[in-house]
Structure 1
Amino acid sequence: MFRFKQFTIQQDRTAMKVCTDACVLGAWADVAGNHLLDIGTGTGLLALMAAQRNPEAQIDAVELDEVAAGQAKENVAASPFASQVRVWNTPIQTYLNIGSGNLPEPVYDCVLTNPPFYTNSLRSPDKTVNRALHTDDLPFADLLTAVRRLLRLSGTWWVLLPPPESDALIKLAAVAGTASGTLRPFRQLQLRHHAQKPVFRHLTAFRFSASPIDYGPDELVIHELDGRTYTLEFRALLQPYYLIF
């Protein structure tokens, strides 16, 4: 169990537990708009963080794993944001894609994603862990197809990945655009455990654009060099959520 200031995450039945980098994504991403989507919600963490920051938004949280979706529903129901968040137990590949295969128009102003990213790594004996961590059920090509289908032309997509996988996603997104434009990065936050550690996560924001967008990545360091004390920047970002700040 992980207690935040305004909600609690029960996570005993889900493979993906609350982690610091996901909390940074939930606190850093711009969740403006009336309709938000969380792809692969797991415990419901990102959806609930978005609901806290944007009380006017309606948020759909999609989760493939039945048990995880059930726990996410319980976390949402026990929170102050139950009227804002709906959890759907379905693959994103077929979500809102029944019948004709196309929506009349894209639905969402903002999409949040903390996707699986392992490809050839050693497998766990736990199938739910493999599903949460490995790309078998949600390869990047399928993820891009879903986001292009569901994101409004003026919308933004926020993704958390390790640096190599983030670079691979950016390249893949640039290869196949649509008539309305190509999903291109316009902001990035690079995350370090402390200043002498390498960057271990990229938080990248995409939007539709006809040409590449100039941007310089920002950086967030979680701890001081002692590895225990949180930096002032990290404390400021997570202060609305963490009980310890």
Structure 2
Amino acid sequence: MPNTYFQFKQFRVEQDRCAMKVCTDSCVFGAYVEVGEAQRILDIGTGTGLLSLMVAQRSGASIDAVEINQEAQWQAQENFSASPWASRLHLHPHSLQGFAKQQRPKYDLILSNPPFFLSSLKSPDAAKNTAKHAGELLFEDILYFAQQHLTEHGKLYLLLPPAEALYFAKLSKASDLYLQEVLQVYTYYGGKCIRHIQTYTFAPAAAPVTKDFYIREEDKVTYTSEFTDLLQPYYLAF
């Protein structure tokens, strides 16, 4: 029987109650986000709380995490409470829309691995539908919230499949947010691009900087040095 948790160097993610488990691309995302001197961070759709925990490990920020699914809320709170940063991790059991109605401070950093399959067939599992399909959490909602609640020099980070990332970038052109950088994540050298990590700011950009990131070597087994370097602070194996 597989573990019901994922053990990192400084924290554990229990995930038996969550539809979406810890996955490699989410770990890349959490490790890649630049926290800098951020004082306030928001994690939209936190799920197990993975991304909040990863950025808490390397920042001193106060972190708000929004989650609409009740099972995931319980799981995230369990993981937050058991971590070394429990006092800085704050779970909000709301939709983003409900959260936005409350008086909120500006955030230096907003990150989200949102529901993303805009047109694919839905699963019979309702929890997975909420976690993976854009429905209750719309891209437009994320954009609008970021416009209203990012600090002047704040950043919005998103993890999306390529097609959905292009769609989000198109939507952003009607807003005051500009795509600054795209990290294209590949399963292995010669493999397909599975995710885009996008960085948006209020600073106008002529064209985003595009970089490639490979998880494994061409043999599809050996991790690349860029992957091991990025995840070394987190993975027990490195």
Question: Displacement of 1:184 after TM fit?
Answer: 0.7
- Where 1:136 maps in the other structure, the secondary structure is coil
- Where 1:70 maps in the other structure, the secondary structure is helix
Question: Displacement of 1:147 after TM fit?
Answer: 1.5
- Where 1:146 maps in the other structure, the secondary structure is helix
State how far apart, in whole Å, the 1-side matches of 2:116 and 2:100 are: 24
Equivalence for 1:80: 84
**Is 1:141 aligned with 2:140?**
yes
Contact 2:118–2:164 (Cα < 8 Å) also in 1? no
**Is 1:26 aligned with 2:26?**
no
- Where 1:93 maps in the other structure, the secondary structure is helix
State how far apart, in whole Å, the 2-side matches of 1:27 and 1:120 are: 29
Equivalence for 2:186: 192
Structure 2: runs of 5+ lacking an equivalent: none
Contact 1:118–1:134 (Cα < 8 Å) also in 2? yes
Equivalent residue runs for 1:217-232 within 5 Å = 217-232=210-225
Contact 1:11–1:71 (Cα < 8 Å) also in 2? yes
Contact 1:185–1:213 (Cα < 8 Å) also in 2? no
Question: Displacement of 1:25 after TM fit?
Answer: 0.7
Aligned residues: 233
Q: Deviations over 1:155-196 (max 9, x none)?
A: 001100011111110110112x2xxxx111112211001111
Equivalent residue runs for 1:4-83 within 5 Å = 4-32=8-36, 33-54=38-59, 56-83=60-87
Q: Deviations over 1:64-117 (max 9, x none)?
A: 11110110000010111101101111011121424xxx75xx510000110011
Question: Displacement of 1:218 after TM fit?
Answer: 1.1
Amino acid at match of 1:160: L
Equivalent residue runs for 1:122-133 within 5 Å = 122-133=121-132
State how far apart, in whole Å, the 2-side matches of 1:221 and 1:93 are: 35
Equivalence for 1:234: 227
Amino acid at match of 1:12: D
- Provide the identity percentage: 44
Equivalence for 1:151: 150
Amino acid at match of 1:225: E
- Deviating beyond 6 angstroms after TM superposition, the runs of 4 or more aligned structure 1 residues are none
State how far apart, in whole Å, the 1-side matches of 2:218 and 2:207 are: 32
State how far apart, in whole Å, the 2-side matches of 1:120 and 1:233 are: 33
- Where 1:2 maps in the other structure, the secondary structure is strand
Question: Displacement of 1:24 after TM fit?
Answer: 0.5
